[in-house]
Amino acid sequence: MQCAPFREAASARLDGEALGIPAAELDRHLAACPDCAGWAAVAGQVTRRARLAPAPEVPDLTAAVLAALPRSLPGTAAAARSRLVGTALRLALLAAAVAQAGLALPSLVTGTAAMSAPVHVAHETGAWNLAVAAAFLAVAAAPRLAAGALPFLATFAVLLTVTTVRDLQAGHVHADRAAAHLLLLAGVLLIAAVAWRRRPHRRPAAVLGGERVVA
């Protein structure tokens, strides 16, 4: 008689698995076969010792796990303050866009501008002001556009500031006209703040195999 199937069934019984043969047939074979009965007894002792062996000591990692947790989690006061600042910047940009459009409409509608500029020059000035207002509005609605709009608007603002200061010194422009450009500078600064807040943050370097790796 082949004993292998019965020893497999005896091993399965020790592990709580399906025997693969009727239990009564296994019992009859163990009663009639001293070799399989001895094998089953030894296997039972080995299984019992393995199950009753003491578990290896595990170090207490509670302090290390708690120290590795981030200091601020999403939904905390810091995250709420960050959302509040972002909302305030977008609302300020919206206000700047409305004010900038207010400067553009008279020049576009009536063709008149400060310092009695020619009609076409007034139209060009109105178009520029309205384009700037549209840029402010676009960034207020979609802050992800801030980085793309900043190079053009910042260049325009810097050049306009330099020429306006020179014109003030030479008496080519009135102070009230120059003061209107402060709205443009404020809007550009707001867009710069939005772009700075959305800049990508580098993850801290990890040490792998003795080498620093930046994710």
Measured N-to-C along each axis, helices 119-141 and 146-170 cross at an angle, to the nearest 10 degrees, of: 140
One-letter amino acid identity for 35? D
How close are the terminal C-alpha atoms of the chain, in Å?
A: 64
Q: Is the pLDDT of residue 172 over 60?
A: yes
Domain ranges for the chain: 4-52, 82-197
pTM recorded for the entire structure:
0.54
Give residues with Cβ within 8 angstroms of 146, minimum separation 6. 139, 191, 192, 194, 195, 198
pLDDT for 58? 79
Dump pLDDT digits (tens) for 71-84: 655 556 777 888 89
Dump pLDDT digits (tens) for 98-127: 999 988 887 777 655 554 556 667 777 888
What is residue 181's DSSP assignment? T
Residue 92 half-sphere exposure toward CB, CA atoms < 13 A: 18
Q: Is the pLDDT of residue 1 over 60?
A: no
Q: Is the pLDDT of residue 94 over 60?
A: yes
Tokens of 85: 């600042």
H/E element holding 112?
none
Dump pLDDT digits (tens) for 28-72: 888 888 888 888 899 888 888 877 777 778 788 888 888 877 665
Q: Is the pLDDT of residue 133 over 80?
A: yes
Give residues with Cβ within 8 angstroms of 92, minimum separation 6. 190
Alpha helices in the chain (DSSP H): 4-14, 23-32, 34-52, 62-68, 77-110, 119-141, 146-170, 175-179, 182-197
